[in-house]
Each structure stands twice: as structure tokens, then as C-alpha cells.
């Protein structure tokens, strides 16, 4: 009986040894958790960076924009002079649609962005026949006078300054133009826009 009692008492004593053996086995779990955090964190950041790259690859709307005039303007206020920037932007799809706008902003980028958005909202359609305008037109805007004449295929764009840029954005490949008044870019561009609106398509 004494021997059996000793055997039974030794049996519970063996249980702590199993617990001590299980203790080192729990350490890799902590390493796994650390590894999971590092991999998960890096993976999440990588996905976010990839998302930014996808946003930059947005498809364009096919409209080209050109800055015709950019100037710094000041206004005298009660507390002093306030400096701003004025931008004249012309937009077009080179397929007969064109728009123009003049806007001001606190900095150059803001002024150009405002002018571009306004020009896109106020685009007009230019009637064309075989890559040229249907008839002759002359418009006076302020002190600027612009003359536009149709031309035969192969003539090309005979224009200078901002008028040439507008013809390219409108998709006109053959035309003869002349600026007979002031050399102010904004007035000449406005005169061309009025001339486009006066054009009538041939039936």
C-alpha cells in the first residue's frame, strides 16, 4: 500500500513538466503575431499606394487646353494692394468644339484651373466644310478686328498668334486669317469666338 501511494503521488508531479514543455512552444505564436502585424501593415500600405497610382491613370476627356495669356493684376484696397493672377485659357477637342474663358485667382494654378473649367462649360460647335469655314466673316471686338476667310484644301492655317492656336484646337486645317486691329490677345480671342458664332452651315 505504501508503494501504491508513492506512485499516485508521483503522477501529479509529472504534470508541471508537461506545462513547462508547452511554454517554449507558445513563443513562436508571439513571433507569428509580430510577423502578421509587419506583413499586414506593409501589405495595407502597399495597397494604398497602389490605389493612388490607379487614380492618376484616369482616362482623359479628349479636350486640349492652351494658355493664351497670363498676367499679374493688382487692385488697390483700403488696407493696401491686393495681387492676383489672370489667366485666359482656350480649350478644344480638335473636332469642331471650342471654348474660351478668362478667370482670376490667388495663384497661377488656381486661376488656370478656374478658366479651364469655365471654358469647358461654355464650349460651342464651329461649322466646317472640308476642313475650312463655310464663308468669310469679319468681327470687331473692342479695338481688335479679325478677318477669317475660307481656303482650299492644302492651303493650311495662315494665321498668327492666338488665332492660330484657336484654329488648331477647333480642328480647322485650311483657313486664311488676319488681325487688323489691336494686338491684345484677349480681345483677338474674343473676336474669333464671336466670328465662330456668326458662321452658318451650308445646307
DSSP per-residue string spanning 88-148: EEEEE-SSSEEEEEEEEESSHHHHHHHHHHHHHHT-EE---BTTB-SS-EEEEETTEEEEE
| Domain 64-121 is found in CATH 3.30.160.20 | yes
Q: Are 115 and 89 in contact (CB under 8 A)?
A: yes
pLDDT one digit per residue (tens) for the chain, 203 residues: 444 444 444 444 444 444 444 444 444 454 444 444 444 445 445 444 444 444 444 445 789 999 999 999 999 988 889 999 999 999 999 999 999 999 999 999 999 999 999 999 999 999 999 999 999 999 999 999 999 999 999 999 999 889 999 999 999 999 999 999 899 999 999 999 999 999 988 76
pLDDT at 61: 75
pLDDT at 60: 59
pLDDT at 26: 46
Nearest to 111 by CA among 89, 93, 92, 90: 89
Q: Where in the chain is the domain with CATH 3.30.160.20?
A: 64-121
Determine whether 78 is exposed, middle or buried from the number of CB atoms within 10 Å of its CB (0-12, 13-18, 19+): exposed
pLDDT at 149: 95
- Coil, strand, or helix at residue 14? coil
Q: Where in the chain is the domain with CATH 3.30.230.10?
A: 126-198
Q: Are 118 and 103 in contact (CB under 8 A)?
A: yes
All cell numbers assigned to 11: 503522477
Distance of CA 122 to the CA centre of its chain: 18
| Domain 126-198 is found in CATH 3.40.50.1700 | no
pLDDT at 7: 43
Phi, then psi, of 172 in degrees rounded to 5: -90, 120
Amino acid at each position: 500500500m505504501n508503494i501504491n501511494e508513492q506512485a499516485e503521488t508521483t503522477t501529479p508531479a509529472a504534470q508541471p513538466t508537461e506545462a513547462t514543455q508547452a511554454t517554449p512552444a507558445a513563443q513562436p505564436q508571439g513571433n507569428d503575431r509580430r510577423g502578421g502585424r509587419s506583413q499586414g501593415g506593409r501589405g495595407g500600405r502597399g495597397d494604398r499606394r497602389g490605389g493612388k497610382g490607379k487614380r492618376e491613370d484616369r482616362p482623359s476627356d479628349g479636350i486640349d487646353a492652351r494658355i493664351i495669356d497670363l498676367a499679374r493684376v493688382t487692385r488697390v484696397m483700403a488696407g493696401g494692394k491686393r495681387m492676383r493672377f489672370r489667366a485666359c485659357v482656350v480649350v478644344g477637342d480638335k473636332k469642331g468644339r471650342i471654348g474660351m474663358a478668362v478667370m482670376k485667382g490667388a495663384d497661377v494654378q488656381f486661376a488656370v484651373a478656374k478658366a479651364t473649367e469655365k471654358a469647358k462649360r461654355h464650349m460651342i460647335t464651329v461649322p466646317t466644310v472640308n476642313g475650312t469655314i463655310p464663308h468669310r466673316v469679319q468681327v470687331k471686338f473692342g479695338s481688335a478686328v479679325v478677318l477669317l476667310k475660307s481656303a482650299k484644301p492644302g492651303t493650311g492655317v495662315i494665321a498668327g498668334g492666338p488665332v492660330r492656336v484657336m484654329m488648331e484646337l477647333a480642328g480647322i486645317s485650311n483657313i486664311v486669317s488676319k488681325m487688323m486691329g489691336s494686338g491684345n490677345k484677349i480681345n483677338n480671342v474674343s473676336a474669333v469666338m464671336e466670328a465662330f458664332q456668326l458662321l452658318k452651315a451650308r445646307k
